[in-house]
Structure 1
Amino acid sequence: MTGDRQPGRPRSEAVRQAILAAAADELTEKGYAALTVEGIAARAGAGKQTIYRWWPSKADVVLDALLEAAASRISIPDNGTLRADLTAFLAATFRQRSQRPILVGLMAEALLDPVFAQQFRDRFLFGRRAALRGILDRAAQRGEISADVRIELLIDVVYGVLWYRLLLDHAPLSEAAGRELAALVVRAAGQQVS
């Protein structure tokens, strides 16, 4: 073989999209524990071997489905102010309540499988943190965040609230909650700490 081509048939983007959509649908209907590669393959009209050739496990299929959903549904706004950017970003993030079964299932898998945990952390969690960090860094450059405020702590606060509500389901994970959290972070970002 010459060049960079991998052995075997190249991925069909249409089949890949069908598999990712099937994984999301199966997960929504059955939950993560009942999700199987066989079920994904049947719903997608693809072979089980195709899925295993492209993804090592059901968790990896679901992670790719989640990454695609996050990229298409949650934009990184640049409206010129921390309040506007953070409100838009968190409202869109919290609006994704339907993703709860996916996120909870992947977090459970990450707790049980250290290899997958690293993939989940590196590809999803750190990616979402980087998106929020970009918003906060721009605000800091505009002087909207006090110099003594630790941006990483603000990020922890935001995702701490998100994951706590996702995992425990004790309070709404809604657009309104995202707006409320944005207002809280904006107030905290501007205050000097003694």
Structure 2
Amino acid sequence: MHHERAHTGRRRNEAAHQAILDAALRLLGESEGTPVTIDAIARAAGVGKQTVYRWWPSKGALLLDALTERAALQVPTPDSGSLREGLHTIIAATFRGAQSDSTAPALRSLVCEAAHDPHLAELLRTFTGQRRAAVRAVLERGRERGELAADADLELMIDEFYGVFWYRFILGHGPLDDAVAARLTDSILAGS
């Protein structure tokens, strides 16, 4: 009997956990300049504030989790044995993940609000830093295998990818689709 209760508790915990992540993402997407508070997230998720703090030490930590875990924005770290394939996988996954309905508004808010919210600015730095590190790992493996020149400028290559990504994501003047992902991959590798 006791075992049953523990199990439903775990299920309930998991449901609350997901509800909080969903609420955080939704509120960030709808915020339009009003700060997203832990209070508001807890209310929207139907839990107490303490429940939120049990899992996340800060609003930034929660929003980062929501963006990466819920928002299909985990960057895969492929080691396919081919630099082109690995880089293309990351670029295509980033393009796709950023455009999902649950993610795009939250990510757009994060970028806009970071300008005048130091917590979100810090969050954006962490978020982009994690992503750059994933791309750098793929490029470094390619360099070790001799697919890139020893003196290839990895930071510039990473900037080329994210420069195109953020520019098109924020301005929306050009597509971020699989065809563009393939062309961008070739363009970055051709310049190396």
**TM-score category by the smaller chain?**
0.7 to 0.9
Q: Greater shift after overlay, 161-170 or 98-107?
A: 98-107
TM-score, normalised via structure 1 length: 0.76
Distance 1:75 1:186 in 2: 19
2:118 to 111, 114, 121: 114
Q: Following superposition of structure 1 onto structure 2, how do residues 45-194 of structure 1 map, counting pairs within 5 Å? A: 45-48=46-49, 50-51=51-52, 54=56, 56-57=58-59, 60-69=61-70, 73-96=74-97, 97-98=99-100, 99-121=103-125, 123-189=126-192
Change beyond 3 A, Cα 1:71–1:173: closer
The runs of 5 or more residues in structure 2 that have no matched partner are: 1-12
Identical amino acids, percent of aligned pairs: 44
May I ask how many residue pairs the two structures share in their alignment? 175
Letter in 1 for 2:117: D
The runs of 5 or more residues in structure 1 that have no matched partner are: 1-11, 190-194
Distance 2:71 2:36 in 1: 22
1:112 match: secondary structure:
coil
Distance 1:48 1:155 in 2: 39
Q: Deviations over 1:15-74 (max 9, x none)?
A: 33320122224445x3554674455334422124544674544x5532220122467753
What is the match of residue 8 of structure 1? none
1:80 match: secondary structure:
coil
Distance 1:175 1:33 in 2: 32
Distance 2:33 2:170 in 1: 15
Q: Following superposition of structure 1 onto structure 2, how do residues 19-38 of structure 1 map, counting pairs within 5 Å? A: 19-28=20-29, 30=30, 32-33=32-33, 36-37=36-37
Change beyond 3 A, Cα 1:65–1:184: same
Change beyond 3 A, Cα 1:159–1:166: same
TM-score, normalised via structure 2 length: 0.77
- Contact map agreement 2:92 2:177 (CA 8 A) in 1: yes
Change beyond 3 A, Cα 1:100–1:74: same
- Contact map agreement 1:83 1:186 (CA 8 A) in 2: yes
- Contact map agreement 1:133 1:155 (CA 8 A) in 2: yes
Distance 1:171 1:52 in 2: 40
2:114 match: secondary structure:
helix
Distance 1:14 1:129 in 2: 31
Distance 2:73 2:118 in 1: 28
2:115 match: secondary structure:
helix
1:95 match: secondary structure:
helix
Q: Greater shift after overlay, 132-141 or 59-68?
A: 59-68
